[in-house]
Amino acid sequence: AVVGNPPYVKLQNFRKVHADMAEFIRNGRPEIEIPGYASAQTGNFDLYLPFIEKGLSILNESGRLGFIAPSLWVMNEYGEGLRELIAKGRNLDRWLDFKSFQVFEEATTYTSLQFFSKKPNDNVRVAYAPEGSIPDAPWSDINVNLSYDRVEFGDRWLLVTGVERKLVDKLQKTCLPLSDASLTTNIFQGLITSADATYHLERRGANTYLHTPR
């Protein structure tokens, strides 16, 4: 078994420090037939995605992998490569989502406990800890089981069960999605500034940050 907490580093920041390694993760070494990571092929990936992919690749046939990591890869564009990889192998076994609860004092992010297996699974078992306290037996309820056939929601994943899943199913049956051409026209992404310095603050202490107007 592998248990860990992979680094949460955005590609843009990683390139500033290890440009050669960032290049290797994405493109590999074609001249010696080492491919790039599948999880690094879509969008501006975060470094924890290749860690999950690598962890899976080194497991033996009965091996298991458990990480606490950001949960956004199941819905964001940059997680598409990892979603495809996991869906193909059905490797995700359990998912305990902390929702908006901040587990780490020094990192503001949405996290979950993510458990993978080398062997394929029929279901993903999904549970929640929105207040930070993990239930005594989070996997004992039969309603935590989510079939892999129902994991995908459009081009994203939707890891919800129970009452939330029933509500989503009802909305799907009775409502039109915003992607329906009869509802929306001329939708596009606005200007991308790439002005990271405007949004990234310098940490000076507990709950204390420095913002320098530019």
pLDDT tens string 120-140: 999 999 999 988 888 887 888
Domain assignment present for 43: yes
**How many percent of the chain have pLDDT more than 90?**
36
The number of domains in the chain is 1
Domain assignment present for 141: yes
Domain assignment present for 12: yes
pLDDT greater at residue 153 or residue 56: 56
Strand 111-117, strand 92-97: pairing: antiparallel
Do 94 and 145 touch, CB atoms closer than 8 A? no
Exposure b/e, 34-60, CB count within 10 A at least 16 = b? eebbbbbbbeebbbbbbbbbebbeebe
| pLDDT tens digits, 140-184 | 888 899 999 889 887 889 999 888 889 988 998 898 887 777 777
Domain assignment present for 196: no
Determine the structural domain holding residue 16 and report its residue range: 2-174
Q: What is the mean pLDDT of the chain?
A: 86
Domain assignment present for 207: no
| pLDDT tens digits, 5-40 | 888 777 777 777 788 888 888 889 999 989 898 998
Query: What is d(CA 148, CA 124) in angstroms, rounded to the nearest whole number?
Result: 7
Do 89 and 116 touch, CB atoms closer than 8 A? no
Domain assignment present for 44: yes
Domain assignment present for 170: yes
pTM of this prediction?
Answer: 0.78
Domain assignment present for 151: yes
The answer to whether residue 1 scores a pLDDT higher than 70 is no
Do 159 and 95 touch, CB atoms closer than 8 A? yes
